[in-house]
Chains A and B, each alone.
Chain A
Amino acid sequence: DSGVTQTPKHLITATGQRVTLRCSPRSGDLSVYWYQQSLDQGLQFLIHYYNGEERAKGNILERFSAQQFPDLHSELNLSSLELGDSALYFCASSVVQGGTEAFFGQGTRLTVV
């Protein structure tokens, strides 16, 4: 167990819908990173929050957004969902910035039908 908690584990939704994925980082970790894993694109960095502030964006679509709350948990919002958004979404947390020693949650498997 990495100490990073993601909910839900599985999510099935229809095209055009909006979903919210939740991540609770390890106790004491200030950084939360979101990654998308798909067969064709591999593991791709989406966005990074540090202590409530957005620090970097990767390959994140405009339909996607995230935030980190004062208790340091984070949410990834995916809207106007398309079939191609079906993937595993991971969050990872680390004490400091820079992705060092990042520990991954178990992921949310999103299926868009």
Chain B
Amino acid sequence: GENVEQHPSTLSVQEGDSAVIKCTYSDSASNYFPWYKQELGKRPQLIIDIRSNVGEKKDQRIAVTLNKTAKHFSLHITETQPEDSAVYFCAASPYLRGGADGLTFGKGTHLIIQP
């Protein structure tokens, strides 16, 4: 089955700086890669996603890049703000392979924005 590795487990950046979280996946059939943000005690919230036919996607201060050859994808947050502090999860799914499998998640990155 799919295996998703996520790094780093903790990331501390100064407010206003950029943050980058990296993930690798093992199953070449995976072609949907969402990112979720989870604040303490709350539900995971979808913040951005990318499909394998696209190399990069941006939404305001958030961007995701995908390298299918290397099987890795990254989340980039620019101009970080205190409200960006949370745990971020990457995930992978074989969307087109029958579509039944759920998401395989990375272990999460605790992003800390220092004032």
Contacts and interface: CB of A to CB of B under 8 A. Distances in A.
Interface residues of B, number: 26
Contacts of B91: 99
Interface string A16-55: 0000000000000000010100000011111110100001
Nearest to B96: A98
Interface string B78-115: 00000000000101011110111111111110000000
Interface stretch (B17-25, B37-45, B57-65, B67-75): B37-45
Interface string B3-44: 000000000000000000000000000001010100000111
A104 B95 contact: no
A98 B105 contact: no
A104 B36 CA distance: 10
A67 B46 CA distance: 25
Q: For the complex, would chain A's binding face be called helix, strand, loop or mixed by DSSP majority?
A: strand
Contacts of B108: 42-43
A61 to B, nearest CB: 16
Contacts of B94: 98
Contacts of B105: 42-45
Contacts of B95: 98-100
Nearest to B1: A58
Greatest chain B CB density within 10 A among A33, A55, A56, A100 is at A100
22 contacts: A35-B103, A42-B105, A43-B44, A43-B89, A45-B104, A46-B102, A47-B102, A48-B101, A50-B100, A55-B100, A56-B100, A90-B44, A96-B99, A97-B99, A97-B100, A98-B94, A98-B96, A100-B34, A100-B93, A101-B46, A103-B46, A104-B36
Interface of B: 32, 34, 36, 42-46, 49, 89, 91, 93-96, 98-108
Interface of A: 2, 33, 35, 42-48, 50, 55-56, 58, 90, 96-107
